[in-house]
Chains A and B, each alone.
Chain A
């Protein structure tokens, strides 16, 4: 995440917090970032040869289509003026993190080799709620490459309980033994 995106995100977060519209602003920002993340749109926004007038038109189109609030309208216009529309997804991620911190919650990525049962997911959420002391928002995904078990990532830390990792570790140990 770039420092530039961080500066824009902090500014937007502070203004939304002052206005008392943090959740709605975050939702609107998520919708704008989703549009900007689309490959065709991202390619246009990332084109350095795009004229400023054309960028402004795209910004106005986004604002109209998504019926953004006044704060987001001005924010998107500012990004268009500064030719920073392509960093909207990064700004969204940063704002999301700030919002989670503000609300005392943490997003946990849970990758499982097979679909988790509701009980298992609940147990995992409870375990990481206890571990982090924050409200856990699980983002569950299935990854067959893990072969078995789960991998949980929270606040930059990885808790790995997958068969794949155990096999890789075993392979490294055997290879290390071969070098002796």
Chain B
């Protein structure tokens, strides 16, 4: 029994749990009810004893000292039990309840302050809504202008690159054509020379060529 009281007292003296789950609530209720049952049992036992003695001495006369003594003892025990077991629990419950109320009040005040702050903030925003919209429009115009400039610059660069490529290609094709023309001219010229040589080549020319060749070999 004493162990049960100690546990109950320790439970009562422990900091109040933040949660308000049903299990915690039931546990706390038992903590209050247990000392009450003890007190009720003691009072009931004393009442039964007094009742039996009073029945035996029902016919006595004068001040019932013994009855008075038992009543005093009974009251003292009752008061002692109340002070020992019930009052600490009630005091703890009241303190806890007070702390909870204070805490709730503080939370409510904080929530109210937050709400006020949000309200003020949104009021400020609403007040500057037109300015914000105008700023957004201006920013959008600036972004669009920059994008347009960027696209134009890229297009100019691409056009310039295409123009340079076209110039290079044209120059290359001109050179190619010139080379082809020159080669064709050379080929036709050589063909004409060859025909001329075949037609006009004489034994004297051959002798002269062989003679020149010999001179070169002998050199």
Question: A127-B218, A147-B194 are known contacts. Are A161 and B182 too (CB-CB below 8 A)?
Answer: no
Complex-state Cα separation, A116 to B190, whole angstroms: 26
**CB <8 Å contact, A175 and B183:** yes
Please name all residues of chain B whose beta carbon is closer than 8 Å to the beta carbon of A6 when the two chains form the complex.
none
A13 contacts the other chain (Cβ, under 8 Å)? no
The distance from the CB of B208 to the nearest CB of chain A, in whole angstroms, is 9
B18 contacts the other chain (Cβ, under 8 Å)? no
Please name all residues of chain A whose beta carbon is closer than 8 Å to the beta carbon of B186 when the two chains form the complex.
171, 174-175, 178
B212 is contacted by which of A127, A130, A161 (Cβ under 8 Å)? A161
**CB <8 Å contact, B206 and A148:** yes
- Interface hits, A19-60 → B, CB 8 Å: none
The distance from the CB of B149 to the nearest CB of chain A, in whole angstroms, is 45
**CB <8 Å contact, A178 and B179:** yes
A170 contacts the other chain (Cβ, under 8 Å)? yes
Indicate with 1 or 0, residue by residue over B165-183, a CB within 8 angstroms of chain A CB atoms. 0000000000000110011
B127 contacts the other chain (Cβ, under 8 Å)? no
Complex-state Cα separation, A150 to B186, whole angstroms: 24
Please name all residues of chain B whose beta carbon is closer than 8 Å to the beta carbon of A178 when the two chains form the complex.
178-179, 182-183, 186
A170 is contacted by which of B190, B198, B214 (Cβ under 8 Å)? B190
Q: How large is the interface on B (under 10, 10 to 19, 20 to 34, 35 or more residues)?
A: 20 to 34
**CB <8 Å contact, A149 and B206:** yes
A147 is contacted by which of B197, B210, B212 (Cβ under 8 Å)? B197
Complex-state Cα separation, A120 to B211, whole angstroms: 8
**CB <8 Å contact, B190 and A148:** no
B213 contacts the other chain (Cβ, under 8 Å)? yes
**CB <8 Å contact, B182 and A175:** yes
- Interface hits, B39-80 → A, CB 8 Å: none
Please name all residues of chain B whose beta carbon is closer than 8 Å to the beta carbon of A152 when the two chains form the complex.
213, 217
B193 contacts the other chain (Cβ, under 8 Å)? yes
A152-B217, A163-B197, A171-B186 known; 14 new pairs, CB 8 Å cut-off, are: A117-B207, A123-B210, A127-B217, A127-B218, A128-B217, A147-B198, A149-B213, A159-B216, A161-B213, A163-B209, A171-B190, A175-B183, A175-B186, A178-B183
The 7 A-B pairs at the shortest CB distance, nearest first, are namely A178-B182, A161-B213, A149-B209, A174-B186, A127-B217, A114-B206, A147-B197
